[in-house]
């Protein structure tokens, strides 16, 4: 099983992909890029402190948020060739997060 701290790596990776994707590689044309960055980064930044401390509740909430990011990334990878590579990177990071997330059960039961 992948260690739980990989959730940290994956969440920080998704946070790093957002400005690269929406600010540099494929900026939006209809709305300002800063608005898209605020809307995509603030929810993840709110759960980052709890996730960094590997708190079970924050890890699960971050996982629920990442499901939305996963859906958007899969859609963009499929439909938008200009955004394909950052979307695939985001999909891989989110899969890594969910692969490491079951370790939270092991960590919680070992600490009790």
The string of pLDDT tens digits covering residues 44-60 is 999 999 999 989 899 99
pTM value? 0.89
Q: Is pLDDT above 80 for 106?
A: no
The position carrying tokens 């990878």 is 77
- Read off the DSSP letter of residue 17: H
Could you tell me if 23 and 37 are in contact, meaning their C-beta atoms sit under 8 angstroms apart?
yes
């Amino acid at each position: 099983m992948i260690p739980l701290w990989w959730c940290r790596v994956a969440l920080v990776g998704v946070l790093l992909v957002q400005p690269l994707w929406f600010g540099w590689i494929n900026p939006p044309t209809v709305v300002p890029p800063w608005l898209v960055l605020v809307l995509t980064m603030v929810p993840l930044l709110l759960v980052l402190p709890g996730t960094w401390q590997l708190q079970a509740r924050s890890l699960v909430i971050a996982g629920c948020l990442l499901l939305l990011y996963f859906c958007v990334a899969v859609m963009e990878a499929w439909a938008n060739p200009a955004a394909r590579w950052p979307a695939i990177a985001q999909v891989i990071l989110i899969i890594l997060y969910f692969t490491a997330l079951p370790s939270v059960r092991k960590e919680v039961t070992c600490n009790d």
